[in-house]
Structure 1
């Protein structure tokens, strides 16, 4: 394993908020940058102690309805319906605040209030990793874990150079299944990840391998969140976080 790894800033910026924000645009937008959104989506993944996703809470506000509604069905539709997903743009909270104000609603509710609107949760059923044989743990580490962050949608190939800059990824050819790889070392823990396109280009994933020291650090959860958020800002819609070992 590499002795030195470039480190993304897992403690700042996009990793801080546990809520994800999206704008809903009308079908007639056709990619026009001046188009006005007509709705806002706010989501939060429910996580187990090992940072795998167990559920997804969603609340939606639209100008037509004028109020917030919790909808697990809408959450599933974003991820399964390409036509609807084309109308959804991942944004930062500041962008959602600006859109909400421009649509005449004043200040966007704070995150504590938004969480009270999460009345429906979409269940993300999972199971403990199936370990047919104990995973091989390199010398100097206590535990090995393998995670997958699954996304609906595919990454634009012209954005790979940006990800190389942000994450220090080594890039592969644009037609390769594995688009890039990255590495990170934090205290007694070490991480490697691969950005992949799967399902014939209909979906994407980040596969993260974590080698944890004893005791393990707190970086694995923050890194999963950071990787998910960076890819989300590239237009991908996170579906779940699962663990293979």
Structure 2
């Protein structure tokens, strides 16, 4: 039997120093975040749509970072009940947009935060668990993390990057790789902080088993839901979509990307 969430609430989140305050009865001008309310088409990928909460345009980057960090790693400061309601509100509206009971496959990335898994588990409130397949993309070995040097060379050539500037960038990138390869766990957000270098990162995600790969290669006319907790640079979502596309799937499948919180700019 399909269970329905009991939270049909507004998502008002205000910042009243030094804390974020949730108001599940009202939305107003002081809110720092809003639910975008409708699917938005990708600017890059065909048959791909986005749905998420978005920060108001006047919210500072520091305040955004503080809220995101609390959501992912310091949930006690926000209150677990508040976070549950916050997620439920978004999923209720996503369900109205795409009917979650019609989703065939859910793709989601391995993460150091429990937030993504919490979102994935809540999908069961809207459909029967045996009606869809969950596939987690795992990260490659740390030693396999690398930049796409061909892409970097083409970028430098097309943008007229001077040789000395390119050499400085190469040294920085190699230093980043040395640091990454010494880690026990790699995070794009934590370990490649400079946005201009993230675009050259080779895909770090892979499908765990051949069964998942075979399934994604052969399905047709299916609805695929990609879930990630936070959309910042868009690199993780882009890498998941590209990992899926590398399997040369049937183009009749529809992708919907759900991230709990992110920017309004879409890939």
What is the TM-score when the length of structure 1 is the normalising length? 0.31
Q: Write 1 or 2 for the structure with the bigger share of strand.
A: 1
Please state which structure has a larger fraction of its residues in helix.
2
TM-score normalised by L of structure 2: 0.29
